Amino acid sequence: MASTSRGEGLTLPRVQCPNHPDAILVEDYRAGDMICPECGLVVGDRVIDVGSEWRTFSNEKALKDPSRVGDAQNPLLNGGDLTTMISKGTGAASFDEFGNSKYQNRRTMSSSDRAMLNAFKEISTMADRINLPRNIIDRTNNLFKQVYEQKSLKGRANDAIASACLYIACRQEGVPRTFKEICAVSRISKKEIGRCFKLILKALETSVDLITTGDFMSRFCSNLGLPKQVQMAATFIARKAVELDLVPGRSPISVAAAAIYMASQASAEKKTQKEIGDIAGVADVTIRQSYRLIYPRAAELFPPDFKFDTPVDKLPQL
């Protein structure tokens, strides 16, 4: 029995046993059946094997692959990407009397599928540059498909929409990246990504969780090569500063950068404002402004078990 499950992204059919919906079905490759392991009911038949028709042995890797099944199906494309590509002809029968090729691939793929494929490649390239996992790429692809099919952002560049979708996917998956980090791996300006971000949230009627200082702390400290003690102290300082309302209206990224600067200056692993700013993507003056807000109550912000290399009263006043 096939039922339909609706998730946040694309709606896909789901095959399940009517008596045991949570059971993991067993596939009989010889018969092409999907069988419930609990009761033995055949819930799906004539299952298409999308694997290779041929076996390729280790000494044949350099030879041409004889498989004819093509690439794996892509549910994001119309028709599941079940298209046929005609190779370039070499014989005389492949050309007409004017020398033009008789068989062409011009109309094998629609323009919308071609645009989406190009966007998916761009998304994958951007995600690889900042080491994002596969689940974020898949969510980004789903978001882009929804936006593209709604045509709600007509006139905006597909690269800008893809960059904004990647930013949203990172936020929704709990591993947020800053606009500057997304901008660094794309060819789009920060302002344009921000505009598309707001338009996509409105078009899809979705939302993202608010970012906090803790979302960036471990990554920033790791990139700076700071020890665990400094990272924990910076996290404590940033959280305490927010609780005491010392940094009203300041960006969580700038507060995190100021907390890292304060914690590093109190430890043996001291980092300059420029080093922290380069990693966090904020200007030195921004770090100084946030630091000046939390400095007067620095003694209250450090964790009780922190081992000071530089006392609180000796910290830079800026």
**pLDDT tens, residue by residue, 226-258:** 999 999 999 999 999 999 999 998 999 999 999
Kindly state which CATH superfamily the domain 111-204 is placed in.
Cyclin-like (1.10.472.10)
| CA dist., res. 15 & res. 44, Å (int) | 7
Instruction: Look at residues 106, 144, 105 and name the one whose alpha carbon lies nearest to residue 122.
Output: 144
**Residue 24 banded pLDDT, cuts 50, 70, 90:** confident
d(CA 128, CA 108): 29
The model's pLDDT over 133-165, given as tens digits with 9 standing for 90+, comes to 999 999 999 999 999 988 888 888 999 999 999
Q: Pick from 257, 246, 236, 254: which is nearest to 302 by CA? A: 236
Hey, what are 48's tokens?
A: 């298409």
CATH of 213-314, one of 3.40.980.10, 1.10.10.10, 1.10.472.10, 3.40.50.720: 1.10.472.10
> Is the Cβ–Cβ distance between 20 and 38 less than 8 Å?
yes
Question: Taking Cα atoms as reference points, which of 225, 236, 226 lies closest to residue 259?
Answer: 236
Q: What angle is formed at CA 185 by the lines to CA 184 and CA 187, rounded to 5 degrees?
A: 85
The pTM of the full predicted model, rounded to 2 decimals, is 0.68
Q: What angle do CA 146, 139, 20 make, to 5 degrees?
A: 100
Asked if 185 and 129 touch (Cβ cutoff 8 Å), the reply is yes
User: Could you give the residue range(s) of every CATH 1.10.472.10 domain in the chain?
Assistant: 111-204, 213-314
Distances (CA, A) of 238 to 65, 273, 296, 311: 56, 16, 14, 19
